[in-house]
Amino acid sequence: MSQSTYYERPEPTSESEWHSRPLEDVYAALETSEEGLDSAAARERLDRYGPNEVETEAGASLFRIFLEQYTSVLIWVLILAAAVMGAIGETLDAAVIAGIVVFITLFGFAQDYRAEQSIQALEELSTTYAMVRRDGEKTEIDATRVVPGDVVFVASGDAVPADARVISASNLRVDESALTGESLSVAKTAETVPKEAAIADRTNVLHKDTVVERGSATAVVIETGPETEIGQIATALEEAEDRDTPFQTELDRLGKVIAVAVIGVVTVIGITELVLGDTAPVQVFMTAVAVAVSAVPEGLPAVVTLSLALGARRMADQNALVRRLPIVEALGSVDVICTDKTGTLTEAEMTVTRLAANRETYQVTGTGYDTDGEFRQDGETANPDQVAELLRCSMLCNDVELGRREDRREASKNEDVGDRKDNPNDEQNDSAAEDAGDELVYLGDPTEISLFVAARKAGFDHDELRDRFPRIDELEFSSDRKRMTTLHETPDGDRIAYTKGAPEVVLERCSREYVDGELLELTDERRAEINARNESFAEDALRVMAFAFRPAAPAELSEDNEQDLVYLGLQGMLDPPRPEVAGALRGCLDAGIDVVMITGDNATTARAIGAELGLASVRVIRGPELEAMSDEELTEVVEDVDIFARTSPEHKTRILTMLQSKGHTVAMTGDGVNDAPAVKNADVGVAMGIRGTDVTEQASDIVLLDDNFATIRDAVRQGRRIFDNVRKFVNYFLSANGAHVLLLFTGIMSGAGLVMTPIMFLWINVVTDGIPALTLGVDPEADNVMERPPRPPAEGVITERIISSIGGIAILITATLLPLFYYYNQVLGDLVLAQTMVFTAFVFMAIARIGAIRTRYGLGLFGNNRWLVGAIAITLTLQLLVLYTPLGILFGVTPLALNHWLQIAVVVAAFSILMAAFVRLQDRFFDRY
């Protein structure tokens, strides 16, 4: 069939009814057929409706990144200062200030651009492919080029490329948890469903980004990109406003406070000088600029950005990708972590851990899909032959396949991987793809995979076993039947049927049991014993399945002949906790962080996993209970519950809102699309990098590349370390700037004169203070960083102690340096020497200030930070170059003699002694930090 070149997408009133319309109507509305589209029609539709991708916020352009560097009030204060200096003819000072502005701008631009490039690179590596029928032939294309009307083919392990109506399906089950949050896979067929069916009940529709667990299907694409169910959720998320972190808000407020303070001080000095004194207007301008430059911590924006960027890089090395730099600091105040269970606290790989066969119980070692493990009984190694018949049944009555799944992220990095669409049979391309990251994987239902792996632990080879017992018929598993039966031909030409399913369902169809090679009558007493064994397994949070067989089976299977079975035994499986999670969770609890498990699993399993990990919650709230609670009732109990079971993604958002209403700072994990609103609205949104969808990643602040709870713990540790370091250099910068302003103001108002020139203040702020401050950003964490409680949400970077430090250090520096300046300027009449002495002494006082700040965190002056040692050495060297080289002309300084150095040493020593006493006084009235 040839399609018309022009295709008009149906109106919204029709598109919501794709599931209820006959296939012939669907073909007609899409102007397509079971043969798919031709290339011309596909190109026209792609041009008209755009690529098949979820619309996300476009990355920032270079121009936008550049302009964002000028949003800081501090930068504009400097620009104004440079303009004033240039206007009054002080071109050298104006050039230096302008150079500082350019440096800060370029530094911030480079950091932001690098972060933007990293995010774009991650998105580019997530390319997926789709198999479609074009021009009558199967063709693999980039999934973004799929259009409405395309006929697509999906099989076990594939991600569905777009919303599509099923044409035909074979034993198809799809994991729709990414969309609906439902953990169990959904059977799909081509049958029409009622118009009023909910999304989760539309069993003839495949949804974009869901995953085929088993089987295969042919389907016709009905919606692409933003028109898909997932796309519509993503579009709604784009309308949500990004929130500033408390730190961003505080920095903005700090800039405004400094700007107002500068205006106030300059106004007071200007009026005083012009009205009461006889100072020339030009000198008043110079003084005003000096005050502005002295008050503004010019290096602070650069140091903050670098510290956050270095912290983000360190977190990336630990599998936590930071999407918004300021969120790094917000991690330090998290006091509740709401986490998924599957894959985050657990391995996300079902594992058979216990068997019951031959009237005995056996333990199975090993975890996940690793075939290393053994069978044990009463603590001793058991012979796998004792459970061979049970395991043979579980491997044959099983749809798991071993296959290769290409790691596209790795393959995209390998330039030798050819275009599979153009050369589908090219051996070189296949080899390159394997080298680029193909991995051997199990394709199928997780429960069946665990059974398959258990059989492999006993030495069964699936290819050899299936060759010896070829399948000739099957009755597939369904939620109504609760069992699956397969019919096989035996090596001697007979037939045998194998059945697995819910223990009560299988057992009622059994009349005999297999015990040590004999078929014995299944008595009522034995049935009671088997049921008791099943209950014992279930009480330990194991998912239990029973297995049976029928020798001399009929030639065709039907539900009527699933009778007179021979009971083989039970297998109990669970998704085991990750081995590192218990320690990580204990570390969070020790740090004052509550951990809340929110899972779609049943309460028994959730409680058992929680108890094993250390979440011994007395009360578990289930989803139905949660829905029955009012907001007031939930608010009363939400802080006392550690486990929520049988929850939906909507429940996550409600739990989050209640916790935030109680004043908590919450980190929320999520993977499915329906988790995105909760992740977006959390104080720190955490997406799963392996199981997570693109929409959830876009809504998140942090992406866990390994889906591991321990990585969250490590991220919180890094967040606290980074916040400590930010607080250190904010304290360091602002205490210096407070001293600048007070020293300058006091000197002018007392008639002593201009203590330092604007360029001297700039040199201290950017170079001699800025370089050591940069290295404070890489300070190691304090030993007790995960032993302290989280800081209160209302507690910012600038605490009462830091405010007292700013004022106290300003007074101490002024008290020690002003007499020195007064002596050389007023007594000896040498203004240049006086300014040089104060300038140099101030630089050396910075070393004492660093020591005092680091001591509070259990660190010495130089301990555990070799970069700080180098920074101080560079700072002192640069200061000497200013004093004893032609650079001194630019700064208006004079070389110092030995007696000058001795006097500076006495002043710095006196300041250090006074500051040590001041710090001890602070310890009596304020918290340590």
| pLDDT-wise least confident of 334-338, 406-410, 669-673 | 406-410
Contact 611, 584 (CB under 8 A): no
Task: Report the percent of the chain where pLDDT is more than 70.
Answer: 82
Tens of pLDDT, residue by residue over 842-867, are: 999 988 888 888 888 888 777 678 88
Indicate if the pLDDT at residue 410 is higher than 60.
no
Q: How many CA atoms lie within 13 A of 181 on its CB side?
A: 24
Contacts of 665 (CB under 8 A, 6+ apart): 330, 333, 334, 335, 336, 683, 684, 790, 793
pLDDT band at residue 381 using 50, 70 and 90 as cut-offs: very high
Task: Give Cα separations from 26 to 12, 232, 244, 439, 754 (angstroms).
Answer: 14, 21, 46, 38, 84
Cα angle 751, 757, 760 (rounded to 5 degrees) comes to 135
Indicate if the pLDDT at residue 439 is higher than 70.
no
Indicate if the pLDDT at residue 676 is higher than 90.
no
| pLDDT-wise least confident of 598-602, 674-678, 716-720 | 674-678
Q: Taking each helix axis from N to C terminus, what angle separates 709-749 and 800-822, rounded to the nearest 10 degrees?
A: 30
Indicate if the pLDDT at residue 354 is higher than 50.
yes
> Average pLDDT for residues 188-210, to the nearest whole number?
87
pLDDT at 418: 35
Amino acid identity at 831:
L
> Average pLDDT for residues 168-176, to the nearest whole number?
86
Which pair of tokens denotes residue 14?
């029709």
Higher pLDDT, 647 or 300: 647
pLDDT at 425: 38
> Average pLDDT for residues 634-661, to the nearest whole number?
89
Q: Where are the beta strands (DSSP E) in 603-662?
A: 620-622, 643-645
pLDDT at 201: 80
Q: Helix, strand, or coil here: 771?
A: helix
pLDDT at 260: 79
Contact 547, 390 (CB under 8 A): yes
Q: How far apart are CA 562 and CA 853, in angstroms?
A: 77
| pLDDT-wise least confident of 37-51, 94-108, 192-206, 280-294 | 280-294
Higher pLDDT, 333 or 667: 667
Q: Highest-confidence range of 99-108, 254-263, 297-306, 725-734, by mean pLDDT?
A: 725-734
Indicate if the pLDDT at residue 166 is higher than 90.
yes
> Average pLDDT for residues 757-784, to the nearest whole number?
82
**362-369 contact pairs (CB < 8 A, 24+):** 362/386, 362/387, 364/454, 364/457, 366/457, 367/576, 368/576, 369/442, 369/449, 369/453
Indicate if the pLDDT at residue 344 is higher than 60.
yes
Indicate if the pLDDT at residue 126 is higher than 70.
no
pLDDT band at residue 614 using 50, 70 and 90 as cut-offs: confident
pLDDT band at residue 513 using 50, 70 and 90 as cut-offs: very high
Mean pLDDT of the chain: 82
The kind and range of the H/E element at 712 are helix 709-749
Contact 677, 237 (CB under 8 A): yes
Which pair of tokens denotes residue 63?
């121009």
Helices (H) and strands (E) counted in the chain, each on its own, are 34, 28
Task: Give Cα separations from 894 to 287, 765, 834, 890, 897 (angstroms).
Answer: 21, 20, 10, 11, 10
Q: Helix, strand, or coil here: 320?
A: strand
Q: How far apart are CA 228 and CA 230, in angstroms?
A: 5
> Average pLDDT for residues 117-137, to the nearest whole number?
69
Tens of pLDDT, residue by residue over 475-500, are: 988 767 889 999 999 999 999 999 99
Tens of pLDDT, residue by residue over 207-259, are: 998 888 878 899 999 999 888 887 877 665 555 555 566 666 666 777 777 77
> Average pLDDT for residues 793-815, to the nearest whole number?
86
Tens of pLDDT, residue by residue over 737-749, are: 888 888 888 887 7
| pLDDT-wise least confident of 126-130, 624-628, 635-639 | 126-130
Question: Where do we find the tokens 């406003």?
Answer: 241
| pLDDT-wise least confident of 200-214, 313-327, 430-444, 518-532 | 430-444
| pLDDT-wise least confident of 176-190, 598-612, 781-795, 812-826 | 176-190
pLDDT at 407: 44
Q: How far apart are CA 299 and CA 281, in angstroms?
A: 30
DSSP state of 469: S
DSSP character string of 775-832: HHTTPPPPTTTTTSPPPPTT--SS-HHHHHHHHHHHHHHHHHHHHHHHIIIIIS--HH
| pLDDT-wise least confident of 347-351, 433-437, 772-776 | 433-437
Higher pLDDT, 262 or 55: 262
Q: In 750-782, which residue ranges form alpha helices assigned H by DSSP?
A: 758-762, 770-776
pLDDT at 228: 87
> Average pLDDT for residues 41-67, to the nearest whole number?
80
DSSP character string of 16-69: TTGGGS-HHHHHHHHT--TT-B-HHHHHHHHHHH--SS---PPPPPHHHHHHHT
Indicate if the pLDDT at residue 310 is higher than 80.
no
Contacts of 271 (CB under 8 A, 6+ apart): none
Q: How far apart are CA 731 and CA 724, in angstroms?
A: 11
pLDDT at 74: 65
* Torsion angle defined by CA atoms of residues 177, 182, 184 and 187, in that order, rounded to the nearest 10 degrees: -80
pLDDT at 417: 32
pLDDT band at residue 433 using 50, 70 and 90 as cut-offs: very low
> Average pLDDT for residues 875-895, to the nearest whole number?
92
> Average pLDDT for residues 534-563, to the nearest whole number?
92
> Average pLDDT for residues 253-273, to the nearest whole number?
73
Task: Give me the catalytic one of 340, 642, 701, 769.
Answer: 340
Tens of pLDDT, residue by residue over 62-93, are: 787 788 777 766 677 678 777 877 776 767 76
| pLDDT-wise least confident of 374-378, 384-388, 725-729, 900-904 | 725-729
Whole-prediction pTM: 0.69
Task: Give Cα separations from 269 to 283, 284, 737, 751, 807 (angstroms).
Answer: 11, 8, 17, 12, 20
Higher pLDDT, 17 or 233: 17
Q: How far apart are CA 749 and CA 268, in angstroms?
A: 10
pLDDT band at residue 429 using 50, 70 and 90 as cut-offs: very low
Nearest alpha carbon to residue 133 among 221, 205, 202, 237: 221
The verdict on whether 492 is a catalytic residue reads: no
If DSSP states are collapsed to H, E and C, what string results for 506-551?
HHCCEEEEEECCEEEECCHHHHHHHHHHHHHHHHCCCEEEEEEEEE
Indicate if the pLDDT at residue 48 is higher than 80.
yes
